[in-house]
Amino acid sequence: GENVEQHPSTLSVQEGDSAVIKCTYSDSASNYFPWYKQELGKGPQLIIDIRSNVGEKKDQRIAVTLNKTAKHFSLHITETQPEDSAVYFCAASPNQAGTALIFGKGTTLSVSS
C-alpha cells in the first residue's frame, strides 16, 4: 500500500522567511496530493492540493510542486507570518477502490516574530 514520508518533523523560521516541507510517496498510482494545516484543538484543514497532471500550483503565499518521476512533492510558504505556525500534513491518494488518503506524520512549523 501507499506510504508517505514527510520531512522535516519540526521547522522553525523567522517571520518573513520562506518555509519548505517535503514529502515522498511510494505508490506510483497515486494521483492526488493535498496539504492540510492543523491548528491546536482543531481538525486538519485543506490549504492546497495538486493532481498528477500538474507540476506546480500557487495560491497567494502558498505553492506546491510535484515531481511524479521522483515521487515527491513539496509545500512552499513564502513571507511567513506568526499565524502560519501550525502542524502541516501532506497526503497521497492512490485513486483506487478500497483506498483512502494516506498522511505523512506531520511537520510542526513555528514562525517567530
Partner 1 sequence: DSGVTQTPKHLITATGQRVTLRCSPRSGDLSVYWYQQSLDQGLQFLIHYYNGEERAKGNILERFSAQQFPDLHSELNLSSLELGDSALYFCASSVEGRGVSPLHFGNGTRLTVT
Q: Site residues (CB under 8 A) for partner 1?
A: 31-32, 34, 36, 41-46, 49, 51, 89, 93-106
Supply φ then ψ for residue 46, to 5 degrees. Answer: -65, 130
Nearer to partner 1, 18 or 28 (CB): 28
Output the furthest CA–CA distance in the chain (Å, rounded): 46
Nearest to 35 by CA among 22, 18, 26: 22
Q: How far is the CB of 32 from partner 1 (least distance, A)?
A: 4
Q: How far is the CB of 113 from partner 1 (least distance, A)?
A: 27
Are 111 and 84 in contact by the 8 Å Cβ rule? The answer is yes
Q: How far is the CB of 98 from partner 1 (least distance, A)?
A: 5
